[in-house]
Amino acid sequence: DTAVSQTPKYLVTQMGNDKSIKCEQNLGHDTMYWYKQDSKKFLKIMFSYNNKELIINETVPNRFSPKSPDKAHLNLHINSLELGDSAVYFCASSQDIRLPYEQYFGPGTRLTVT
Amino acid sequence: AQSVAQPEDQVNVAEGNPLTVKCTYSVSGNPYLFWYVQYPNRGLQVLLKYITGDNLVKGSYGFEAEFNKSQTTFHLKKPSALVSDSALYFCAVRDKIMGGGGNKLTFGTGTQLKVEL
């Protein structure tokens, strides 16, 4: 059973398009995250939700909008895609945002904008 | 603000030899520290974490790390490296909860470990 799953695994699209990435966790965790890993493998947090409430909102263009329909799902919608958005996007979850539990990562979505 | 430095982009070691991957952190107060590993085309998985207590932390696959508060280091070690240990390793520090900051992890830039026969 996959603990944190993401779809799609690969996404190739043109500049200006709008796309979504979906994430689901079956661990019963309260907190979910979105990270961006660039071509140099640098990993940076974008957003965090705790029980559907936005907790962390880093300096990210407002073309990126997370949505959490329930605590098991956190989707990422990106409007007007740009070349610089090309990266691997990871979803993660942890048990409770208040405590230093480890985060469990999904397999990643490789986004390529042409 | 907190930060993590991994001074080596790549570490090469022969199989059977001990390995060390370095990490230096900066954080207000007491840190929570983690080591994650990323295999090619995979997500990250936690190897070990330091929250409190014993400075020597043992983790998965024979890895361990030592928390050194005075030197602000959390180096990852293994007594005998395997070829299968070859991967990208990330050190991470957790920010203190202040207001709405929450459980934010700051990752280092990663160290590529290459273990050769």
Residue B49 has pLDDT above 90, yes or no: yes
Residue B5 has pLDDT above 50, yes or no: yes
Residues 6+ apart with CB under 8 A from B38: A41, B44, B45, B87, B88, B89, B90, B110
Is the distance from CB of A104 to CB of A25 less than 8 angstroms? yes
pLDDT at residue number B94:
87
Report the C-alpha gap between A112 and B3 in whole angstroms. 29
Q: Summarize the confidence of residues A50-59 as an average pLDDT.
A: 85
Is the distance from CB of B84 to CB of B99 less than 8 angstroms? no
pLDDT at residue number B101:
44
Residues 6+ apart with CB under 8 A from A47: A33, A34, A54, A56, A57, A58, A60, A64, A66, A74, A76
Report the C-alpha gap between A83 and A17 in whole angstroms. 11
Q: How far is A16 from chain B (nearest CA, A)?
A: 27
Q: Residue A80 corresponds to which tokens in the numbers above?
A: 């007007």
- Does A39 touch chain B if contact means CB atoms closer than 8 Å? no
What does the DSSP assignment read for A8-43? -SEEEE-TT--EEEEEEE-S--SEEEEEEE-TT--E
Q: Report chain B residues touching chain A, CB-CB < 8 A.
A: 32, 34, 36, 38, 41-46, 49, 51, 88, 90, 94, 97, 100-105, 107, 109-110
Residue B100 has pLDDT above 50, yes or no: no
Report the C-alpha gap between A92 and A35 in whole angstroms. 8
Of all residues in chain A, what percent carry a pLDDT higher than 90?
82
Report the C-alpha gap between B102 and B117 in whole angstroms. 43
Task: State the CB neighbour count (10 A cutoff) for residue B26.
Answer: 13
Q: Summarize the confidence of residues B23-38 as an average pLDDT.
A: 91
A80 confidence band (pLDDT: 50, 70, 90): very high
Nearest C-alpha in A relative to B52: A100
Q: Summarize the confidence of residues B75-102 as an average pLDDT.
A: 84
Interface contact B103-A94, CB threshold 8 A: yes
Report the candidate in A54, A33, A15 with the shortest Cα–Cα distance to residue A108: A33
Q: How far is B103 from chain A (nearest CA, A)?
A: 5
Instruction: Report the mean per-residue pLDDT for chain A.
Output: 93
Report the C-alpha gap between B7 and B63 in whole angstroms. 19
A57 confidence band (pLDDT: 50, 70, 90): confident
Interface contact B90-A43, CB threshold 8 A: yes
Task: State the CB neighbour count (10 A cutoff) for residue A9.
Answer: 13
Q: What are phi and psi of B111, to 5 degrees?
A: -130, 125
Interface contact A43-B42, CB threshold 8 A: no
pLDDT at residue number B99:
45
